[in-house]
Structure 1
């Protein structure tokens, strides 16, 4: 047999003894593509793991699909980073508006209306938070609650968890005896837990608090501000949050009245627990419970107020 004929015979025998690798079955490929289209990375990983275990002869094609998927994720991450870097001052803001009613206990026991707005701008190194809220109620023709607060808080991120914060806050609560209270603070915050579904952050720092009382007096205090923020995404349609904060003020100067006070301490504590349930699209319903406590309120005022709210919330 000639040499060319021998080579041809060997190649023919090899093709008979070595079966060609089968293509990845269409149902398996469709399952992987559907998981990728869902946008849930954990689902993709789970589906690909099963596909590899049940189709060991098709690892090359499965790995090729995963390589394309990972490359697309990397491009999306780069695009999101560029968008944050190039965004202007009025771009990339997210927020929510809230409107509902509440029942109060403490200084009053009435029904009222409540509204609020939250805005967040998350940049590469910076994060800006803005929040405002108003509570209003009347009873027998008289205003029994006229409460307003607004807070702006810029954050500078040192890394994924540690950040520095600045805070400027305005409050008005004539029920507690002050027409205006201003708080300025700065310090450090740290995200103790940061996962897809759970976030727990704490912050603390020194503060200055200036209070204009309803009677016309003004008091300035050195203070320490502490805060806690906990969010838990129970499911795609249910979320629990717990926000707590306190401002501990130690009067450096005391104040003058019928009694000389050498050292007067005052603690303001606010805690809100909320449960959000998705209704449709960007609309949710929220049930929340707020405790507001002042250790040294105006004479004749209760130290603790509570607000039970039922609200509609719109995300934008």
Structure 2
């Protein structure tokens, strides 16, 4: 009777039959419960073939290769100097990348502030978003959206959008070298000339070298040039692994601005020691 009710594949009917059977046969409750459990489990299926087992085991690994990977770093540094002048400053960088097969995205925030004798002497901020699509193992296309503010170089705000092509000259685990080039549109607001728009050319160089497992040398540089203005940035850094996710970082930062209309050029250089947290 119980088997016939199960064959109808109606849970309500099966539950009713089991209830009646338990009431009619109180001495056989264990056997009835065991039969009910077997019916609920259903018939055992055929054993999987070895090839299917291998494919099932490999599926998670293959899926992980298709998933995007997040990585990044947080850099913090500061300085306090007392004597004939008092200086207090802080520096921070948040660098986050999302890496996926065939493309990547990078978001970078940099902030630098310093006071000397109670007055601001450095006030710099930048935010950049850089997507990149791989065209071949060595070539890629990139985009750029960037905001900058540097009060003491005279740049109240500057927006840049650009795109172009790049090539990886080296792409081993120990050494990576990438060069890219493309056009850019810039909207700049300065205290002297107000708001200006210009088409510019952009070129950049990125080098990352790991001479040992604990030491990393890097170079990031970018140059923008239009008819009137030229600007360049360069960061040369040495990183050494301290413990866990923490690294020590020593960097040399250069910011260059030239305006042909006033025959003036400004060069700002800074050497920093900071702590880097990687994830």
On whether the aligned pair clears a TM of 0.5, the verdict is yes
Report if aligned partners of 2:203, 2:224 keep a CA contact under 8 Å in 1. Answer: yes
Structure 2 contact 209–217 (Cα < 8 Å) conserved:
yes
> Which has more strand, going by share of residues?
2
Residues in 2 aligned to 1:300 and 1:144: alpha-carbon distance in whole angstroms: 24
Question: Is residue 125 of structure 1 aligned with residue 102 of structure 2?
Answer: yes
> Is 2:240 the partner of 1:277?
yes
| Pair 1:211–1:81, CA change in 2 (3 A) | farther
User: Secondary structure of the residue that 1:83 maps to in structure 2?
Assistant: helix
2:256 to 276, 290, 293: 293
Distance in 2 between residues matched to 1:297 and 1:95, nearest whole Å: 38
**1:203 matched to 2:203:** no
Which is worse superposed, 214-223 or 147-156? 214-223
Q: Which moved more, 1:168-177 or 1:110-119?
A: 110-119
What CA distance in whole angstroms lies between the structure 2 residues aligned with 1:129 and 1:80?
Answer: 25
Displacement of 1:102 in angstroms is: 6.3
Equivalent residue in structure 1 for 2:231, among 246, 255, 268: 268
Kept after mapping to 1: 8 A contact 2:234/2:255:
yes
The C-alpha deviation readout for 1:176-195, integer Å capped at 9, x for no partner, is 11211001100001100111
Unaligned runs of 5+ in 1: 1-71, 104-109, 251-264
| C-alpha deviation, 1:138, in angstroms | 0.6
Does structure 2 retain, via aligned residues, the 8 Å contact 1:201–1:229? Answer: yes
Within 5 A, what are the aligned runs for 1:90-239?
92-101=69-78, 112-214=89-191, 217-239=194-216
- CA 279–266 in structure 1, closer or farther in 2 if over 3 Å, else same: same
1:303 is paired with a residue whose SS is: strand
Q: Which stretches of structure 1, 4 residues or longer, exceed 2 Å deviation after superposition?
A: 78-87, 297-302
Are 1:85 and 2:66 an aligned pair?
A: yes
Structure 1 partner of 2:271: 308
Tell me how far apart the structure 1 counterparts of residues 186 and 226 of structure 2 sit (CA, whole Å). Answer: 8
For 1:298 and 1:287, the matched residues in 2 are separated by 36
Say what the alpha-carbon RMSD is for the aligned residues.
2.5
Displacement of 1:267? 0.9
Structure 2, unaligned stretches of length 5 or more? 1-53, 81-86
Q: CA deviation at 1:214?
A: 3.2
Higher relative CO (CA 8 A, sep ≥ 6), structure 1 or 2? 1
**C-alpha contact (below 8 Å) 2:67/2:100 kept by paired residues:** no
**Compared CA separation, residues 168 and 130, structure 1 to 2 (3 A):** same
Q: How many residues align?
A: 219
Change in Cα spacing, 1:246 to 1:79, as seen in structure 2 (3 Å) is farther
For residues 207 and 237 of structure 1, the distance between their equivalents in structure 2, rounded to whole angstroms, comes to 37
TM-score w.r.t. length of structure 1: 0.64
Moved more, 293-302 or 236-245: 293-302
Other structure's SS at 1:234 match: coil
TM-score between both structures, scaled by the size of structure 2 = 0.73
